[in-house]
Amino acid sequence: MVKTICTELLVIGATFTGMGMALSDPDRSLVIESTAAVGSEFIAAFRPGVPVNRLFSDRRVLQFRDELMRRRAMDEAGRVHLPALAPICCSLLHQKKVRIRFLTRPMAVEYEQGKWKVTIISPAGVEVIVATNVVDTSSIGMMLRLLGKPNEEGYQPYINASLHRSEGLAVVQDLVEDGLIVYEGAIDGEVYINVSLCSEDDWSKARMRLKETWSARSQASRKWTIASVASALDIRQQSGIRTIDDQLYWLPSSGYDHPLQAYNEGLLLRNTQMDGSERL
Amino acid sequence: MSLVRSRLANCKVEREPYDGIIIQELDLIVVGLGTAGAIAAITAARNGLRVLGIDQGTGMGGTGTFGAVLGYYYGQRGGIYEDWDRTVMEMEQSDGDFTPSAGVNRELKQNVLEQLAREAKVEIRYESLLTGVFMVEKKVCGVEWLEQGGLNSAYARMVIDATGDAYVCAMAGCELRGGREQDGQNQPFSNALVYMKGGKVCYGYTDSGYVDPYDADSLTEAILSSNTLSTHLRNNYNEGDRLITIASQLGIREGRFIEGEENVTWQSYLEEQFAEHPIFYAYSNLDNHSKDLALESENQQDWSVACSLWGLKFFVPIPLGALVPKEVDGLIVAGRCLAVDHDLAACVRMKRDMQKSGEAAAVAVELAIRDQVPLMNINIHELQTRLSATGCLTVPASLYREHSSNDKATSVPVQWIEDAEEIKQGLMSDKPGIAIWSARRLDWLREQLRQWMMSDHESENLRKHSAFALSLMGDALAEKVLLEIVSMRDPYVPKTSSKYNMVRGFAAIYLLGKVRSVAAVDALCEVLIDERPLPMVERNDEFLLDEDELRFQYISFALTALIRIGDAHQVVRESIVHGLRAWFRLKITPLFITMKGSKEIKLDLSDKLRAMADSAISRWEPVS
């Protein structure tokens, strides 16, 4: 017997945008996340993002920012210490009792009597979620794929890595290389590189490209080594919400330049709905 | 014979006829490319099979790579994985692209495995989650999975379930078991993290609680709560021991086990019923991380509580039948879901041995396909020869070994003692565990043990440890000395194991329960309500953190002993019920235990113990 779960809003992906949406109204939201982690589009992808020059006004975003800064997970310049974001987000989700299911993926979707019936698969097997609204915050547009609709927007994937400098202080100027984009995190020595990929590259190909690019680095960069390779691809989409169908939307969290901005967008979108404008 | 698709819904199997089109046909599908599955897929493909490997993650290697457990904890050396680990070490030293790492470099191991898989022409599908199994009657003939593009499926002549948690077997309707008998609890999980220290990539973890790996809500709670431990959620993140990442895969030590064509249980091991044709050996101690040992099986408590043999390492011969699910064809497992039980799984789960299981499963499949016979009908001698050639099957000189506590690389063989004088010396020593266990095996020694136990001239250790050996033999004469030990809340802690040694006071309580001692009822009821301070020995931190934990041990052992005695003797049930109710009236204070390696998590087990007491009372009530 397949179990059915009902919710007003189903959020696909525990992304920063997805978390923002769910935290805005925890009682009426359910988040499903295919991995065992939050914010994978930034954290697991080793994408610290670009500090944004904008002032956030929402109280909850400011509280989240203050929490990051208090724990030194973000500096004054807006650079984040990526691995610290996951525990802080988990703590927030726990405190606010957000309904979330990790290791759960949508496998089929159909529209029935004004609601979306999403068949999911988790370690317990197949279940069904009936939701009034569905917002897909994944980078790849999972719902588009399940509906067999083409994604006509191009996107740029990267494979990223976290570096370590074996000698002396971290001087990122050493790392000027063709094909490498360098980002710094909030902690001294926290440096990430991005290597661009073709959209059809699979994981195996992506890791080969990273290895080839890295092995060919100049002598000046050889003091740097790869400490860890990202476990999620960094797939950059365009920002903003797209309507896929009635009550079904795609709002890729990876469309934003910074985790805090993605979080803010999730909260804002849900606020608009709460204010009585077009319901999600 | 029609094709059916078998899926899980609410952990129950649901089958339906399948008339969809399946285009791809392979020799072998390996589900799960982790510790065991990666080795299995590459080995099978190198041996000429057309192999598809699917994994829900984004790379190969499982616990050692994405789980961030970089080191090895025991397991027997030998097998194809050793060559590949050596390649990883050599690359780390020579190419200078990756930061040196503790243990086996997880990035390079992932790279090496993936390179080997490419060379062997393994077709890999990452981010692919198993959704169903195709079967014709009792034969598995393919699988269905969800990948980013949607559902996909393929036929195969054989399937290796290397999911660790027997998901393929569960979907195929195989008989499964798991957890301990008392409450179904499995071992604690961990959530490892990776950090920089001294120019090296290091890893660390503590036990983080319990999780049901078949329940998404339980997994979710485990992910959230383990991330908020102070190891992960820090007040101040800084450059010292800079955090690099949190493992993308939880460290789950125990899930379900298959009911195999042959089963290797702790009971059968203790009875020395060893597999006639092992295909590899597992090697470790009985490494149960739980601290509520009173709720474990009597067999486990005989070993770990009465004898403090937690640390003794031993080899377990694993037969082919322990990888083959009973009465289902076309399916074999590799990894921790093989046919052991909860007790023995504490030993048979180490990464080295799980890699061996992958190699063994792959060669077994190759032989079955070549000879077109069911797995259990392959030429077992040929399989053994093949596995011996790589070192995967290496017969140990001795089944038991003891390691120096500060040098895991060196070990000495341990034999059970058969000489009375040697046993006497052992019982007198501060490492009495081997002697107690040895004496228990020698019925001819019973009279001598009684004399040692009752003599006022012998050392305290000899008297008391003779009583331990006798009670393991079921000898009720031991109860007088055991009661003396309990009465003084004897704080003595032997040094038999490097850690997890048991306080003599509560070990004696366990043994009074074991001999179903009617005479012990009053004393044990008193233990439940005794609020006086308990004498605490300092050098036992990892198992007993503080007096609260010691009190938990006394109460939990007293409760389980009383229940055993009451179950066996109707005549004392009324007294026991009276004692249990006195304990309830005391308003049971929280009974805390912490997790191994962490002082932070305090599990309150008072409700669980109370429920056990209530259950016993209701079981006895019509009589009492």
Alpha-helical runs (H) found in B275-408: 298-301, 342-345, 351-371, 380-390
CB < 8 Å from A in window 155-184 of B: 165, 167
Search chain B and give the residue with CA nearest A31.
Answer: B220
The three-state secondary structure class of B602 is strand
Interface test with A, best of B42, B147, B229, B243 (most A CBs within 10 A): B243
Q: Tell whether B58 lies on the interface with A, counting CB pairs under 8 A.
A: yes
Q: Which residues of B touch A86 (CB under 8 A)?
A: 227, 232, 246
Helix H or strand E segment including B567: helix B547-568
Looking at the structure, do residues B168 and B24 belong to the same domain, yes or no? yes
Question: In angstroms, what separates the C-alpha of B257 from chain A's closest C-alpha?
Answer: 16
Residue B304 has what DSSP assignment? Answer: I
Question: In angstroms, what separates the C-alpha of A220 from chain B's closest C-alpha?
Answer: 13
- pLDDT, tens only, A129-158: 999 999 999 999 999 999 999 888 888 899
Is position B279 within any domain? Answer: yes
Q: Which residues of A touch B14 (CB under 8 A)?
A: 2, 125-126
- pLDDT, tens only, A63-92: 999 999 999 999 999 999 999 999 999 999
Rounded average pLDDT over B597-613: 91
Search chain B and give the residue with CA nearest A96.
Answer: B224
Residue A140 has what DSSP assignment? Answer: S
Is position B96 within any domain? Answer: yes
**A149-158, B249-258, B417-426, B462-471: lowest mean pLDDT where?**
A149-158
CB < 8 Å from A in window 401-460 of B: none
Q: Tell whether B230 lies on the interface with A, counting CB pairs under 8 A.
A: no
pLDDT band, very low/low/confident/very high, at B624 (cuts 50, 70, 90)? very low
Dihedrals phi, psi of B581, to nearest 5 degrees: -70, -35
Q: Which residues of B touch A83 (CB under 8 A)?
A: 193, 243-246
Strand intervals (E) in A72-114: 100-101, 105-112
State whether A83 and B193 contact (CB < 8 Å): yes
Looking at the structure, do residues B279 and B329 belong to the same domain, yes or no? yes
B373 CB-near residues (< 8 Å, 6+ apart): none
- Can you tell me the distance from the alpha carbon of B534 to that of B527, in angstroms, rounded to the nearest whole number? 11
Question: In angstroms, what separates the C-alpha of A275 from chain B's closest C-alpha?
Answer: 31
Predicted local distance difference test score (pLDDT) of residue B10: 86
Q: Which residues of A touch B113 (CB under 8 A)?
A: none
- Can you tell me the distance from the alpha carbon of A137 to that of A40, in angstroms, rounded to the nearest whole number? 11
Interface test with A, best of B66, B97, B122, B201 (most A CBs within 10 A): B97
Q: Which residues of B touch A232 (CB under 8 A)?
A: 58
Looking at the structure, do residues B440 and B520 belong to the same domain, yes or no? yes
- Can you tell me the distance from the alpha carbon of B287 to that of B97, in angstroms, rounded to the nearest whole number? 36
Residue B251 bridge partners (DSSP): B190
B128 CB-near residues (< 8 Å, 6+ apart): B54, B55, B56, B145, B146, B147, B152
- Between the alpha carbon of residue A72 and those of residues A39, B141, B204, B300, the distances in Å are 18, 54, 21, 46
State whether A87 and B228 contact (CB < 8 Å): yes
Q: What is the mean pLDDT of chain B?
A: 95
State whether B219 and A103 contact (CB < 8 Å): yes
Alpha-helical runs (H) found in B193-312: 216-227, 266-270, 298-301
State whether A100 and B220 contact (CB < 8 Å): yes
Q: Which residues of B touch A188 (CB under 8 A)?
A: 239
Structure-token match 């058969």, residue found: B418
Q: At the topology level of CATH, where does A3-151+237-274 sit?
A: FAD/NAD(P)-binding domain (3.50.50)
State whether A102 and B246 contact (CB < 8 Å): no
Question: In angstroms, what separates the C-alpha of B458 from chain A's closest C-alpha?
Answer: 58
B360 CB-near residues (< 8 Å, 6+ apart): B279, B280, B318, B320, B323, B334, B383, B387, B392, B393
Closest CA to B57 of A126, A232, A113, A91: A232
- CATH 3.50.50.60 range(s) for chain A read 3-151+237-274
Alpha-helical runs (H) found in B372-496: 380-390, 420-428, 433-440, 446-454, 460-472, 479-487
- pLDDT, tens only, B569-585: 999 999 999 999 999 99
Assign residue B568 the CATH number of its domain: 1.25.10
Q: Which residues of A touch B167 (CB under 8 A)?
A: 123
Assign residue B333 the CATH number of its domain: 3.50.50.60
Looking at the structure, do residues B274 and B223 belong to the same domain, yes or no? no
Ranges of chain A whose pLDDT falls below 50: 274-276, 279
Token pair of B237 as six digits: 């993140």
Range of the structural domain that residue B490 is part of: 414-620
Residue B405 has what DSSP assignment? Answer: T
Residue B125 bridge partners (DSSP): B54
Is position B156 within any domain? Answer: yes
Count the domains in chain B: 3
Is position B405 within any domain? Answer: no
Looking at the structure, do residues B153 and B24 belong to the same domain, yes or no? yes
- pLDDT, tens only, B62-107: 999 999 999 999 999 999 999 999 999 999 999 899 999 999 999 9
Cβ atoms of residues B226 and B193 within 8 Å: no
Looking at the structure, do residues B101 and B61 belong to the same domain, yes or no? yes
Looking at the structure, do residues B352 and B468 belong to the same domain, yes or no? no
A12 CB-near residues (< 8 Å, 6+ apart): A18, A32, A106, A134, A135, A136, A137, A138, A142, A143
Search chain B and give the residue with CA nearest A102.
Answer: B220
Query: Do the bridges between strand A224-229 and strand A156-165 make them parallel or antiparallel, or are there none, so unpaired?
Result: antiparallel
Interface test with B, best of A164, A165, A214 (most B CBs within 10 A): A164
Is position B129 within any domain? Answer: yes
Q: Tell whether B96 lies on the interface with A, counting CB pairs under 8 A.
A: yes
Token pair of B280 as six digits: 């590899």
Looking at the structure, do residues B99 and B226 belong to the same domain, yes or no? no
State whether B216 and A232 contact (CB < 8 Å): no
Is position B307 within any domain? Answer: no
Q: Which residues of B touch A101 (CB under 8 A)?
A: 216-217, 220
Cβ atoms of residues B429 and B461 within 8 Å: yes
Q: Which residues of B touch A162 (CB under 8 A)?
A: 244-245
Predicted local distance difference test score (pLDDT) of residue A274: 41
Looking at the structure, do residues B364 and B341 belong to the same domain, yes or no? yes
Looking at the structure, do residues B129 and B223 belong to the same domain, yes or no? no
Phi-psi region of A104 (alpha: psi -120 to 50; beta: other; left: phi over 0): beta
- pLDDT, tens only, B356-381: 999 999 999 999 999 999 999 999 99
Predicted local distance difference test score (pLDDT) of residue B407: 59
Residue B306 has what DSSP assignment? Answer: I
Cβ atoms of residues B570 and B623 within 8 Å: yes
Interface test with A, best of B13, B195, B224 (most A CBs within 10 A): B224
Interface test with B, best of A126, A128, A160 (most B CBs within 10 A): A126
Structure-token match 């660390």, residue found: B204
- CATH 3.30.70 range(s) for chain A read 156-235
Among B99, B124, B146, whose Cβ lies nearest the Cβ of A226? B99
pTM: 0.96
State whether A124 and B8 contact (CB < 8 Å): yes
Helix, strand, coil percentages (3-state) for chain B, rounded to 5, are 40, 20, 40
Search chain B and give the residue with CA nearest A83.
Answer: B245
Closest CA to B304 of B317, B288, B324: B288
- pLDDT, tens only, B381-396: 999 999 999 999 999 9
- Can you tell me the distance from the alpha carbon of A122 to that of B255, in angstroms, rounded to the nearest whole number? 16
Question: In angstroms, what separates the C-alpha of A277 from chain B's closest C-alpha?
Answer: 33
Residue type, B441: R
Q: Supply the DSSP string of B115-177, one letter for each residue.
A: HHHHHTT-EEE-S-EEEEEEEETTEEEEEEEEETTEEEEEEEEEEEE-SSS-HHHHHTT--EE
- pLDDT, tens only, B406-422: 556 678 889 999 999 99
Predicted local distance difference test score (pLDDT) of residue B538: 64
Q: Which residues of A touch B129 (CB under 8 A)?
A: 34, 105, 121
Search chain B and give the residue with CA nearest A212.
Answer: B97
State whether B238 and A187 contact (CB < 8 Å): yes
Looking at the structure, do residues B343 and B418 belong to the same domain, yes or no? no
Token pair of B133 as six digits: 């199994």
State whether B129 and A124 contact (CB < 8 Å): no
State whether A204 and B233 contact (CB < 8 Å): no
Which strands form B193-197's sheet, in the order they lie side by side?
A: B200-204, B193-197, B243-246
Over 50: is that where the pLDDT of B322 sits? yes
State whether A123 and B215 contact (CB < 8 Å): yes
- The class that CATH gives domain A156-235 is alpha beta
- Can you tell me the distance from the alpha carbon of B388 to that of B410, in angstroms, rounded to the nearest whole number? 23
Sign for the pseudo-dihedral over CA of B31, B33, B37, B40: positive
Q: Which residues of B touch A151 (CB under 8 A)?
A: none
Rounded average pLDDT over B462-491: 97
Predicted local distance difference test score (pLDDT) of residue A275: 43
pLDDT band, very low/low/confident/very high, at B539 (cuts 50, 70, 90)? low
Predicted local distance difference test score (pLDDT) of residue B498: 87
Predicted local distance difference test score (pLDDT) of residue B404: 62
Question: In angstroms, what separates the C-alpha of A124 from chain B's closest C-alpha?
Answer: 5
The three-state secondary structure class of B581 is helix
- Can you tell me the distance from the alpha carbon of A9 to that of A226, in angstroms, rounded to the nearest whole number? 40
pLDDT: is B278 or B548 the higher one?
Answer: B278
Q: Which residues of A touch B150 (CB under 8 A)?
A: 145-146, 148
R_g of chain A computed on alpha carbons: 19
Token pair of B394 as six digits: 């290496």
Residue B446 has what DSSP assignment? Answer: H
Residue B27 has what DSSP assignment? Answer: E
Looking at the structure, do residues B221 and B346 belong to the same domain, yes or no? no
- Can you tell me the distance from the alpha carbon of A227 to that of B196, in angstroms, rounded to the nearest whole number? 8
Helix H or strand E segment including A60: helix A59-70
- Can you tell me the distance from the alpha carbon of B133 to that of B29, in angstroms, rounded to the nearest whole number? 11
Residue type, B394: T
- pLDDT, tens only, B97-156: 999 999 999 999 999 999 999 999 999 999 999 999 999 999 999 999 999 889 999 999
Structure-token match 């309580």, residue found: B509
Predicted local distance difference test score (pLDDT) of residue A272: 67
B210 CB-near residues (< 8 Å, 6+ apart): B185, B186, B188, B189, B222
Q: How many CB atoms lie within 10 A of CB B366?
A: 23
Predicted local distance difference test score (pLDDT) of residue B506: 98
Q: List b or e across B416-430, with b for residues whose CB sees 16 or more CB atoms inside 10 angstroms.
A: ebeeeeebbebbbbe
State whether A91 and B233 contact (CB < 8 Å): yes
State whether B234 and A225 contact (CB < 8 Å): no
Cβ atoms of residues B99 and A225 within 8 Å: yes
- Can you tell me the distance from the alpha carbon of B308 to that of B302, in angstroms, rounded to the nearest whole number? 9
